[in-house]
Amino acid sequence: MKYKTLYIAILLMATFLAAWALPALLKKATDKPADYPFAYYSSVLKELCFIDFQDKAAPMKDKSGHIYTTQQFDSLMPLLNFRQLMVDGKMPDSLEGHALTPQLVRSKNVVFRFSPTDIRTPQTDLYVLFESMPKRVGLEVPDDVFRTTTDGIEFIDSKSNRVNEAKSQQFRAAMQKEGFAFPAQWLSGNINPRKPYDEGYFCLDREGSLFHLKMVNNRPFVRDTRVGDAIDVASFSMLEVGDKRFYGFLFDRQGGVYILESADGTYHPVKLEIGPVDTQHDEMLLMGNLLYWTVSVTTPSGIDYYALRTETLERVDAYHIAQSPGLWQRVSAWLFPAYLTFSHPDSDFIYPAFVCTGWKAFAVHILLALGVFLLVPVKRKKKIFFASYILITGITGLVALLLLPGFIYTHYKKTIL
């Protein structure tokens, strides 16, 4: 009896190992990432244009299918290719009533990328708080870092590793006075000291209210944005843009995306007129200019392109490309109804999880089970066990059985089952 128990334990272990190793090797050999065209809204044509790097013959097209040369494409998107047009002497003086200068074009350019790994990644939980109004040009890295605790905030000296009680109490009191409920759920900021200016952090407190925290003249600046009263905030991505129009991008739990503007000391979320964005699985790329923003949202089922008017963020154009199943998707659907993986495209964490591919593979399971029942030269009791096991586990179970004695290794005189 103990040998049967040991055999079953080893068989299950080998099956789980095969359920990870076989799909991982097959995926490495067959999987290719989806390669979608690059899209940008033309302020001249007033429609989306595409560069398909896979199409060597005619890579540059508009949504209507017209083909363009590189020089023509530059002229159709002057706000994207303004440097090249200035060198060629073809830069227009104005567009839609706006006089164009290099300084204006650069200040209105916006580039923002979002990936689920931005939020599903290990955190140090130690943050750097810059002086938002430095006396000299440029930001200086402070001598301390801070962290939030269950009942407050702590500033820690980087050299001595000691808590600065006075500064910690000063910021804790300012946050509590503004109504911040500890502990914080998360903080979002930009710790790059080469950014043009600093706006500190946006923090979501225990009750779902979004607060703005920064340091001005060595004193705490804390404001309740009141955004949480109307929006169920999921995450926030800080982006200090050149024209200081907004603080960053706000995502709600229903898939809405907003920019957070500030005027007269109040905070205003302005929603982008795009489809819902799932922050757990979708990626977003935004490229904006003086007149229009182009937003690309990549989902597991395809990609959606949107063109928005910069001033109002209203949609002026849209386009969708469905994902074509690749070789890995087609093969895995027939071989593995589910497989074990430790790596995930939408997370930097490593953890075991089963991925379901569908029910097609059970047809293969039935054929394998019948083949084993009819062809393997063992006793009927063993045939039933082997066939039943393969009917449930499929190829991974078959590989595990092949690695163990008693299946095809008939030269063993004493079998385990």
Provide the residue ranges of all domains of the chain, joining segments of one domain with +: 2-32+330-403, 38-106, 112-284+298-316
pLDDT for residue 410: 52
Q: Based on the number of CB atoms within 10 Å of its own CB, is 194 exposed (0-12), middle (13-18) or buried (19 or more)?
A: exposed
Q: The tokens 């964005």 sit on which residue?
A: 277
Report whether pLDDT(412) > 60: no
Condensed to tens digits (0 to 9), the pLDDT of residues 397-411 reads: 999 999 888 776 554
Condensed to tens digits (0 to 9), the pLDDT of residues 194-225 reads: 899 999 999 999 999 999 999 999 999 999 99
Condensed to tens digits (0 to 9), the pLDDT of residues 244-277 reads: 999 999 999 999 999 999 877 789 999 999 999 9
Tokens encoding 23: 């799909």
Decide if 342 contacts 17 (C-beta within 8 A): no
Report whether pLDDT(413) > 80: no
Amino acid found at 279: T
Report yes or no on whether pTM surpasses 0.75: yes
Tokens encoding 399: 């590989």
Mean pLDDT, range 39-68, rounded to an integer: 92
| Pairwise CA distance, residues 282 & 101, whole Å | 36
pLDDT for residue 417: 54
Measured CA distances, 119 to 186, 234, 257, 278 (Å): 10, 10, 15, 12
Share of the chain above pLDDT 70, in %: 97
Condensed to tens digits (0 to 9), the pLDDT of residues 314-362 reads: 999 999 999 988 899 999 999 999 999 998 888 888 899 999 988 899 9
Report whether pLDDT(132) > 80: yes
Mean pLDDT, range 70-95, rounded to an integer: 93
pLDDT for residue 124: 85
